[in-house]
Structure 1
Amino acid sequence: MPVNVFSRQPDRKSFLIYAVLLFVIEVLIARFVPSGFIRGFVGDVLVVMLLFCMARALVPVVNVKGEPINRLLHTPWLALAVLLFAFAIEFGQYWGLVDKLGLGGNRLARIVIGSHFDPLDLLAYFVGYLILMGLYWKRN
């Protein structure tokens, strides 16, 4: 069965493709875009969408019979969980999570978890969440 990336009911393979594409875009932004609006804001908007697509690719929302598994994993709830996760990471930056975990000297940990709090990041995460919800409501 071919993967229909642009279907109205995308499957897990479609979300994996979305996640890979968003990851490539994030890497390109981090590598080639100087600090500013695109890198500082758009990158954070996209990271919420990336995390959502990764979760949808990894976690099935229906069982083998096609019946829903758990309402928590449906799009609106999963998107909210991703938003709350992003907020938690950002507040972890405020409280110095990387250093408290003993990973202050680890460059990868400082990149992935982050090392400084920025309230605009919270707004960017929320915008990413709103885009996910807009796509969900448009689809339905």
Structure 2
Amino acid sequence: VVAEDDARRPATCLLVRVDPARGTATFASAGHLPPVVFGTDGSAELVDLPVGPPLGTGVGGYEPTTRPLAPGETLLVFTDGLVERRGEDIDVSLARLAALRLPPDSGPEQVVEEVLHRLDALHAEDDVAVLAARIRARPSS
């Protein structure tokens, strides 16, 4: 629909489906930056996934990628305003995010607060939206 309307601009999109029972997350990207997973040790890992064309370009081809998501790991998805800086290559911007080391066992709220603070989101040049999620451990019966 967007591709057929010259007045509309293409948009990036990241689709994430989390399956708590299997402990997996499946991703499909339409030109969007990759999410990051923070481990229980506080380390960050960018999710390696193929990037398809933005929505509205009239070109398809989106390849899903599934990775484990263990209880205690925090998935962080974000808009480009969180990491992008004028005049800086996007790979440098993403590397800055991936280099963050947070306190061990940080919960989703603390992950969001730390990332926003450490990447100075208050002074971002673009809008910033961040979402953190974690699979809850199921009590054993």
- TM-score scaled by structure 1? 0.28
More strand by share: 2
- TM-score scaled by structure 2? 0.28
